Amino acid sequence: MSLPGEPRPAKLVIRFLFSDFEAQSRALDALASDFGPMDFLSMPGDFPYTTYYDDEMGRGIRRQTAGFLNLVAQGSLPDLKLRTNEIEARFLQNGKRQVNIDPGILSVERLVLATGKNFTHRIYLREGIYADLTLIYRKGAYRPLPWTYPDYREPEFLHYLEVMRKKLRFQLDGVFPR
């Protein structure tokens, strides 16, 4: 018989899209205000994977990744998504988003994103939020799954996660990165 228990806390990882650097700056301030200090922030990079967001955010969309120092309960994923939805809504202009904020929780074993969109591999949590198992840690690295979005497969992003995983292991166990 398995005995239920609380999982260890995880690192909050947020990836966001933007085309306006003023909106990016306001979003970063709001995220830090709500979730505490960041301990990782990538440089903004190109987002060439789709034009899906162009009508809403314009052309020249950039992607950025943030990790947060304060660990979060793994069960808080719906709360994190609902809060980032509120932040997105705060910065609407003419009914259009200026930033698209995608929160996830990084554990030593996996990266799970929060989404409001149902799909075959997503598990319903509550309040319209689903968990999307995006990457699993296997054989010394985070590995994509058949449904993993292309930008979450990028070697650069996988490297970011490896850096954040080392920080997470130190926070959880006091294990120094090697």
At residue 48, the pLDDT reads: 80
Confidence check: pLDDT of 77 > 90:
yes
Tell me what the mean pLDDT of segment 138-143 comes to.
95
What is the reported pTM?
Answer: 0.93
Residue percentage of the chain with pLDDT more than 90: 80
Q: Which CA distances in Å does 12 have to 19, 51, 130? A: 23, 27, 16
Where does the pLDDT of residue 138 fall: very low under 50, low under 70, confident under 90, or very high at 90 and above? very high
Please give the Cα distance from 135 to 147 (Å, whole number).
10
In whole numbers, what is the pLDDT of the chain averaged over residues? 93
At residue 130, the pLDDT reads: 97
Parse the chain into domains and list their residue ranges: 10-169
Tell me what the mean pLDDT of segment 58-77 comes to.
95
Tell me what the mean pLDDT of segment 58-80 comes to.
95
Per DSSP, the residues of 70-123 read EEE-GGGHHHHHHHHHHHHHHT-BTTB-SEEEEEEEE-SSEEEEEES---TTEE
At residue 113, the pLDDT reads: 97
For the domain 10-169, what is the CATH code?
A: 3.30.70.260
H or E element in which residue 156 lies: helix 155-173
